[in-house]
Amino acid sequence: MYLGVDYYPEHWPVEMMDEDMRRMREMGCNIIRIGEFAWQLMEPKEGQFDFSFFDQVIAKAKTHELKVMFGTPTATFPAWLAKTHPSILAQEMNGEVRVFGGRRQYCYNSRVYQQYTEKIVSKLVKHYANEPAIIAWQMDNEIGHEGSDQCYCEQCHLSFQDYLRDVYAEDIDRLNEAYGTIFWGQTYTDFAQIPMPTHTVTTHNPALRLDWARFRSDSINAFAKMQIDLIKRHRGAHQQVTHNLFGGFFNRAYDQNVMAAELDFVSYDNYPVWGGLKEPLKPAEIAMTLDYIRGLKQQNFWIVEQLMGAQGHNHIGYLPRPKQAQLWAYQAMARGCDNMLFFRWRGMDRGAEQFCLGIVDIDNETGRKYREVQEFMHDVAQQPSLTTPIHADVAILYDYDNIQSWAIQQQSDAFDFTQEFMRLYAPFHSANVMTDVLSTDKDFSKYKVIVLPVMQIMDEALAHRLRSFVASGGVLLMGYRAAIKNRHNNLHRFMPTPAFIHDLLGGRVRESESLGNGISAPVVAKGGYPRAVATVWRDMIEPSEGAQVLYHYDDKFYKEYACVTVNAYEMGFVYWVGAGLDEITMSDVVGRVLEKAGIADKAIMDRLERIERSEFSEQGDGQNSVVWYLNHTSHPQTVQFCTIAPYSVLKRQLSDES
């Protein structure tokens, strides 16, 4: 297991390096990550490559028995490059050009930037291909983060038109038909007439906007692949390639599954609290991001930036309480991270990240944070159960087009994709049922339960796979606004909705209502109790014969419509939730889903997360399984006669559980 820190030796006098590394070793590190923002040091003037500083760092790392992950430095290009080639700079929607100064200001479609990238990455990787200490390359840093996913420069405009030529096989009529440009007389006669979706009056065509989203995703993934391929071409056989994906839930303008397929392993930067956040993310939210990251390659992953101190550029929020950041590190390991580096060794007194704290503060003394990381590293290094594969019976599915479709037309001003995803994810987390979070293109046939929150985009192929899943005995939980749109982001024409699957779901949606901020609708269980509340959205479901109504609306005009139904279909069952239902009702629905699927509900109490892992890579018979309990609260909790201190962890053998 690799355990380590992100280290920026270029920030400090070289004389400090030995002592830093000695203390890192003492803390439990066996790896450092270096180099990802140091292009200017490696190529101080155009064409003059100099890796001597890092030669020295690596030599010292070796004497201290530290391995190295080396970052390609393309997230921060040198000032001379921006000066000589301003065309590399990305442009805002309003035409403003981003200037040199922050980071990630480059345009992915800039041919010039691609060429300079090719040069520095090839030189760097070749230089260290035979270096045994470097065991992995990190490609760039958090691609697409901090707004760098969008660029509206002329290069992007032309590339977008080329992208469309490609997608529509040079046939402009095909595009017109797909977009429905007859509406508002927008018919194009040439691809060169197609705009980028910048400011206009009212709004752009939703199909064009979805194509723009796919084009952004493609631009980012193509740039990443170009670099990954270079690394693979020049690296040593012992070196792997990864990329550190940022958090921020589903607000990403590229499909990370595409990049993940190119990487040897996925890495993640886990910051449960960042910037001015007054509260950290909820344990279920952190868990969901970890399940999502694990789902990208359906295998365990690395964390290469694990938060230890408070973070922020201009605003700083919540300070993790003693042991709380350590608990987040355990939670990440328990949910599939099997190698971990902490951000960062020492905070820096200058530059944009003065308030991004490290393990060691700027006084250079070791204190609470150091001790917590030390305790953590020494413990987890002895825990084989934290490296075995994770087994889940439930998969919660997302689809890149669907996420973008919601981002384009929010429909209810109370709608937030992540919040709606969490509405269906959180009850499984509270029940301590392990979940995989997967893209719909992954094979979901082996699961007992699959969940599709707000899946408004549906095509025949996906519908077919859902049908076979249920037919062969699976339990499907479907959210509201199901299957109303096609892959062009248009409504399904002349079809009953949910399109392709209304018989599978057991009903049709006759009307819908957007429940904007502050609006709710009463719902009640069949039989008059308990009562429930719908917010954000509601579909009025007319159940088909045979479908059973679990909840229905309870206001004057819509009483006859169902809100939650269950439908038996061949060997399986479909639960369908037609509204943004409150937490208690959602846990009732998920409880029924679990029961139907024969999965035990292991809810313990508020915010006590329970995760089972096998001690051996083969899933055993339970004899060799261990249970990790994580107390996410600020007070002690008791489980199985053991008290778990605030923000602490308890490990037990499964066989000892009564």
Minimum separation from the CB atom of position 139 to ligand GAL (A): 13
Query: Please, which residue, 142 or 420, has the CB nearer to ligand GAL?
Result: 142
Residue 410: in which H helix or E strand, if any?
A: none
Rounded CA separation 32/2 (Å): 9
List Cβ neighbours of 404 (8 Å cut-off, separation of 6 or more): 209, 210, 213, 214
Minimum separation from the CB atom of position 291 to ligand GAL (A): 20
Query: Please, which residue, 236 or 275, has the CB nearer to ligand GAL?
Result: 275
Query: Please, which residue, 141 or 385, has the CB nearer to ligand GAL?
Result: 141
Query: Please, which residue, 141 or 159, has the CB nearer to ligand GAL?
Result: 141
Sheet containing 3-6: order of strands: 240-242, 134-138, 67-71, 31-34, 3-6, 337-343, 301-307, 267-270, 244-245
Within its chain, how far is the Cα of 483 from the centroid? 23
Query: Please, which residue, 246 or 551, has the CB nearer to ligand GAL?
Result: 246
Query: Please, which residue, 141 or 631, has the CB nearer to ligand GAL?
Result: 141
Q: Nearest Cα to 262, choosing from 230, 238, 237?
A: 230
Rounded CA separation 522/531 (Å): 8
Minimum separation from the CB atom of position 269 to ligand GAL (A): 5
Minimum separation from the CB atom of position 344 to ligand GAL (A): 8
Rounded CA separation 142/246 (Å): 6
Minimum separation from the CB atom of position 15 to ligand GAL (A): 25
Query: Please, which residue, 325 or 452, has the CB nearer to ligand GAL?
Result: 325
Minimum separation from the CB atom of position 447 to ligand GAL (A): 32
Q: How far is CA 633 from CA 368, 452, 629, 644, in A?
A: 19, 30, 12, 10
Rounded CA separation 629/649 (Å): 6
Task: Give the HSE-up count for residue 405: Cα atoms under 13 Å, Cβ half-sphere.
Answer: 22
Residues that bind ligand GAL (CB under 6 A): 141-142, 246, 269, 305, 311, 343, 353, 356
Question: Which position's Cβ is nearest ligand GAL?
Answer: 311
Rounded CA separation 469/476 (Å): 8
At 60, list the tokens. Answer: 């010292």
DSSP designation for 491: B
Q: Nearest Cα to 3, choosing from 58, 65, 54?
A: 65
Query: Please, which residue, 38 or 414, has the CB nearer to ligand GAL?
Result: 38
Minimum separation from the CB atom of position 142 to ligand GAL (A): 5
Rounded CA separation 453/581 (Å): 12
Minimum separation from the CB atom of position 326 to ligand GAL (A): 17
Query: Please, which residue, 38 or 396, has the CB nearer to ligand GAL?
Result: 38
DSSP designation for 635: S
At 599, list the tokens. Answer: 């999965």
Query: Please, which residue, 306 or 405, has the CB nearer to ligand GAL?
Result: 306
Rounded CA separation 291/635 (Å): 26
Query: Please, which residue, 104 or 488, has the CB nearer to ligand GAL?
Result: 104
Neighbours of 134 (CB within 10 A): 24
Rounded CA separation 415/366 (Å): 45
Rounded CA separation 508/186 (Å): 33
Minimum separation from the CB atom of position 200 to ligand GAL (A): 33
Is 561 strand, coil or helix?
coil
Minimum separation from the CB atom of position 372 to ligand GAL (A): 18
Minimum separation from the CB atom of position 305 to ligand GAL (A): 6
